[in-house]
């Protein structure tokens, strides 16, 4: 069965345009409730959200749909995506739903789903929900309708969990940190975690108004964080995305330390402490410099398809514990079940404290290869393998790059674009190759 609604990370789109409408979301809640009800148990589903204005509408719609299927609901309010994963597991809920479009602007929204184990839903469950969406909506008898309550201590529970992800002897006393919450779901818990561990915290992007999520702030727009770190003489900066499952950092000089470098720091620190098992997992987009740096330490590195769910799958298959994406989706399986921006940042800060090195020193063991990516808007979908002119251009470019470069062409899972990425040792050469390939893609798919 082909997917109609679920992408690589749940369901996402423009608010008010199908399928991100109130009527569809009501049906979505009902469909999920019906799939869960197949086990014959009285089910409980947690609902969290980020700070988008549309979250109120979709929270109510999901609540109505789930209740009509006989499922109880616990509302968590604005909370980071990984917090819902953690609480779903610890509260023994049947599933968790996050209303969020992650790093997208407020005009978009979406839905991420977690199983009772706090992991992304498997393909079979997603397909079962899609299939149920084709059925007519029915309502259980009134005495079996789901009940709704609110979990008021959710922030405190999650803060304690995050603090417990680092060694008890680790204190952040003496560190000055700037924390950018992207006006999103971490605004009320992120800064508090670092403060309670002893750091001096300057919070920015922590005044959400429902419309300013990810606007010139957060992990996708780090300029404000870079300025704040330098102006305040901070030791490091930390930036989350709108729902808190991504993180990037900024060193004391204002230089961005991206997800690839953070994966390197965490993996190399685990390795130095004798705590790393299995290979480190990246994606097709991970910088070649990460692979080279890890191999220099004698560590295996393997690439998954783009998407944190695929990183997680490979980690589990190969018994690994550390993986992630350059965007800042980082998974520490010895600490979490999913990507968690706060927990990942804490692992880096722990390394700074225990190894007595600055963020720039820890990242210095890895040299990034120049990488240039162009998002090419497309008006029609075709398999790239069916475009001979493009394949010829790729082959010619690969010959020029040799063993010191890579090319990746892939359709976005969330936008109507083809991502064209070229990587190599010479920045100008890389840019020229990317622009040439992007022009061929545009010519073939317009």
Paired sense of beta strands 406-411 and 417-423, if any:
antiparallel
The listed CATH number (3.40.120.10, 3.40.50.11270, 2.60.120.590, 3.20.20.70) that belongs to domain 11-152: 3.40.120.10
Q: Is the pLDDT of residue 1 over 80?
A: no
Looking at domain 171-255, which of 3.90.228.20, 3.40.120.10, 3.20.20.70, 3.90.79.10 is its CATH number? Answer: 3.40.120.10
Average pLDDT score over the chain: 95
CA–CA dist 346, 208 (Å, integer)? 24
pTM of the predicted structure, to 2 decimals: 0.91
pLDDT band (50, 70, 90) for residue 127: very high
Mean pLDDT of 378-383: 79
Evaluate if residue 414 carries a pLDDT over 80: no
Q: Of the candidates 284, 335, 338, 289, which has an alpha carbon nearest to the alpha carbon of residue 120?
A: 338
Please write the tens of the pLDDT for every residue from 320-335.
Answer: 999 999 999 999 999 9
C-alpha angle 402-403-409 in degrees, rounded to nearest 5? 75
Q: What's the CATH number for 258-368? A: 3.40.120.10
- Domain ranges for the chain, please list them: 11-152, 171-255, 258-368, 371-445
Residue 418 β-bridge partners: 376, 411
Query: What residues are annotated to the active site?
Result: 102
**Does 163 score more than 80 pLDDT?**
yes
Query: For residue 168, is pLDDT > 70?
Result: yes
- Indicate the pLDDT class of residue 413, thresholds 50, 70 and 90: low
Per-residue pLDDT averaged across 85-95, rounded? 97
Q: Which contacts (CB < 8 Å, 24+ apart) does range 10-17 have?
A: 10/98, 10/110, 10/111, 10/112, 10/113, 11/110, 11/111, 12/101, 12/102, 12/104, 12/108, 12/109, 12/110, 12/111, 12/414, 13/108, 13/109, 13/110, 14/107, 14/108, 15/54, 15/107, 15/108, 15/109
- State mean pLDDT over 140-167: 97
Could you read off the pLDDT of 41-89 as tens digits, one per residue? 899 999 999 999 999 999 999 999 999 999 999 999 999 999 999 999 9
Find the length of the chain.
446
Domain 371-445: homologous superfamily in CATH: Alpha-D-phosphohexomutase, C-terminal domain (3.30.310.50)
- Matching CATH topology for 171-255 and 371-445? no
Element spanning 129, H or E: helix 123-132
Mean pLDDT of 247-271: 98
Q: Which two tokens stand for residue 298?
A: 């004698």
* CB contact at 8 A, 434 and 427: no
Task: List CB contacts of 167: < 8 A, sequence separation 6 or more.
Answer: 350, 354
């Amino acid at each position: 069965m082909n997917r109609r609604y679920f992408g690589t990370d749940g369901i996402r789109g423009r608010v008010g345009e199908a399928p991100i409408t109130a009527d569809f979301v009501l049906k979505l809640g009902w469909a999920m409730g019906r799939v869960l009800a197949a086990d014959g148990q009285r089910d409980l589903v947690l609902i969290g959200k980020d700070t988008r204005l549309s979250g109120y509408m979709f929270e109510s719609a999901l609540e109505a749909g789930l209740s009509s299927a006989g499922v109880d609901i616990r509302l968590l309010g604005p909370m980071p995506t990984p917090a819902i994963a953690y609480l779903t597991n610890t509260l023994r809920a049947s599933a968790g739903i996050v209303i969020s479009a992650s790093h997208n602007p407020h005009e978009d929204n979406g839905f991420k789903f977690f199983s009772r184990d706090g992991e992304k839903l498997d393909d079979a469950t997603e397909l079962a929900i899609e299939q149920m969406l084709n059925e007519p909506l029915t309502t259980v008898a009134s005495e079996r309708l789901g009940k709704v309550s609110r979990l008021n201590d959710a922030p405190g529970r999650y803060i304690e969990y995050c603090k417990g992800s680092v060694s008890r002897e680790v204190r952040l006393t003496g560190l000055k940190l700037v924390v950018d919450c992207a006006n999103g779901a971490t605004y009320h818990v992120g800064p508090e975690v670092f403060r309670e561990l002893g750091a001096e915290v300057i919070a920015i992007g922590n005044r959400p108004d429902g419309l300013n999520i990810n606007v010139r702030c957060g992990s996708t727009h780090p300029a404000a964080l870079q300025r704040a770190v330098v102006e305040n003489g901070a030791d490091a900066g930390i930036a989350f995305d709108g729902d808190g499952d991504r993180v990037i950092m900024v060193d004391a000089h204002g230089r961005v330390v991206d997800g690839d470098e953070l994966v390197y720091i965490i993996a190399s620190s685990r390795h130095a402490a004798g705590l790393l098992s299995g290979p480190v997992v990246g994606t097709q987009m991970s910088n070649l410099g990460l692979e080279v740096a890890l191999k220099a330490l004698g560590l295996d590195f393997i690439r998954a398809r783009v998407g944190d769910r695929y990183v997680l799958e490979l980690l589990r298959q190969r018994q690994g514990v550390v993986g992630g994406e350059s965007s800042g989706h980082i998974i520490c399986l010895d600490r979490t079940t999913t990507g968690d921006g706060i927990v990942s940042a804490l692992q880096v800060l722990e390394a700074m404290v225990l190894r007595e090195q600055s963020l720039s020193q820890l990242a210095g063991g890895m040299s990034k290869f120049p990488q240039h990516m162009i998002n090419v808007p497309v008006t029609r979908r075709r398999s790239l393998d069916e475009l001979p002119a493009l394949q010829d251009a790729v082959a010619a470019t690969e010959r020029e790059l040799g063993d010191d470069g890579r090319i990746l062409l892939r359709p976005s899972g969330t936008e109507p674009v083809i991502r064209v990425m070229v990587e190599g040792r010479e920045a100008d050469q890389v840019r020229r190759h990317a622009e040439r390939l992007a022009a061929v893609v545009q010519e073939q798919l317009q």
